[in-house]
Amino acid sequence: MPTQSPRSALYRSHPELILNLGSCLAVLAIVAIVSYLLARERDSVEQSAVRASNNIVQLIESDILRNVELYDQSLQGLIWAVGRKELPEIPGPLRQRLLFNEAFVDRKRGDVLWLDPQGNVVGDSSSSVPRKANFGDTGVFKAHRDNANLGLLVGPPFKARLGGLDWCISFSRRISGPHGEFAGLAAGALRLSYFSELFRRLDIGDDSSINLFNTDGQLLARQPSRAQDPLIGTNYAERPNFKRILNEQSGNFTARSTSSGKPRMYTFARVAQLPLIVLVVHSADEVFQSWRRTAILVSVATGVLCVGILWLTLLLGRELRRRHEAEQGLATLAATDSLTGLANRRRLDQVLRQEWARAQRNRKSLAVLMVDIDHFKAFNQRHGHAGGDHALREVAKAIEACIRRPADLAARYGGEEFQVVLPETDLAGAQLLAERIRVSVEALAPFADDAHAVTVSIGIGLSGTQHDLSRLLGAADEALYRAKAKGRNRIEGPEA
């Protein structure tokens, strides 16, 4: 006889549990896969935004460097021209062109000035007749005057004193005399509006921005510029995000804005060795807006799919449960005698074989009671088949009521005969139960005022005295015949 694997046995005993478990695992797998794909897609969107921001930062950085180089070349050209001894003898227009090379100076961006040691304007790129102003009190002028090794100095944002240039930043170099003494300053002013125009050509979203800072934390330019945004010159030096930007020099990170509290993606880089920082700030909501719509759609679809799977699983489980109950009912009917409600002959044979094998394996005794209703044919003749069927049912109830252990089995053997299988029961225990059955049947109420009470004769077979099942049943049957021969309504055990 083939053996069943534990998995097959589990499925046969709990098909609905296995189905529900498999369905839940399938739903969890679907949710895990979809979640992984959505997370990977989110990472891809974030990386695309970072790459785009890096491209913008590099583009702006290149443009700023180009402008700084132009200003630096203009300043160095001015310093060279100032150092020429023949400069005072050169006519005005030619002298102006020598001092301020138009190839480097663009008036749309700003002006270049030559300042004397006192800070007075002695040369002006916007006019051959210098405009009158003094810059001796500015921090940039004093820094160059006191330190000969500053090189190119990028100053903080300032409001221009000449020409209504609005907000500017300065680029300046020291002019030294023949013996290294301070001889003045070559300074250029670059309009910050130039950066605003540059940034305006780059569309990065309504809630995102491109920013230019100096390393002191001052805002130099921002686009788009909204009424609620901080003004040019606002200092961010103490804000945590700017401190992180200043420490890392270049890179990207995601953090909450200290002003709005919303999540932002920061991509930044310092412009070469200059004290300038380009910062692109993306709104996380804008970056992930498209992904969020896709995620919602996919999540809803996945949720509907998972709910559908679980619902179908419940329906299938209900059908399996109904089928299992029906099979159990059929199995019960197939193993039950329809008249008495006890186990039928088929079930009896199965239990006898199982208990005999167990008794032999465990070296335990097995007792079998053969119970027969006395004078049943005469009872049938007196009361008819309906009366006989009633008597069989009442006797069966009495026998079943006497059985206390779950392993014991009472079955209809055939006609008016019954068998009781008693695993792990010795002769004394079998006799005790047999007597209980005999007394219970004898105590049944008379049928239709019949003068003769219904009684049973019982024969006991014990496995300890027999070598196979057939002999055990034969011994019980012989004991029953002895009980009938000795007057009925009695119990007979196996012969010594």
Q: Where are the domains of the chain?
A: 195-287, 335-492
Q: Tell me if 382 sits within 8 A of 453, measured CB to CB.
A: no
Contact 23, 313 (CB under 8 A): yes
In the predicted model, is pLDDT for residue 174 greater than 80? yes
Is pTM, for the whole model, over 0.85?
A: no
Residue 345 near residue 338 (C-beta atoms within 8 A) = no
- State CA 164 to chain mean position distance: 59
Mean pLDDT of the chain: 86
CATH architecture of 335-492: 2-Layer Sandwich (3.30)
Residue 113 phi, psi dihedral angles, 5° rounding: -125, 150
In the predicted model, is pLDDT for residue 344 greater than 50?
Answer: yes
**What pLDDT is stored for residue 271 in this prediction?**
87
CA angle centred on 69, ends 279 and 135, rounded to 5°: 90
Is the pLDDT at 6 greater than 60? The verdict is no
- Strand-pair partners of 39: none
Contact in structure between 187 and 115 (CB atoms under 8 Å):
yes
> What CATH code is assigned to 195-287?
3.30.450.20
Strand partners, 417: 372, 414
Instruction: Enumerate residues 6+ apart whose C-beta is below 8 A from 348.
Output: 409, 411, 412, 413, 419, 421
Q: Is the pLDDT confidence value at 269 over 50?
A: yes
| pLDDT above 90: percentage of residues in the chain | 35
Q: Which residues pair with 420 in a beta bridge?
A: 369, 410
Q: Which H/E stretch holds residue 373?
A: strand 366-373
Selection from 487, 440, 438 nearest residue 460 by Cα: 438
| Residue with the larger pLDDT of the pair 285 and 35 | 35
Most confident of 152-161, 292-301, 439-448, 487-496: 292-301
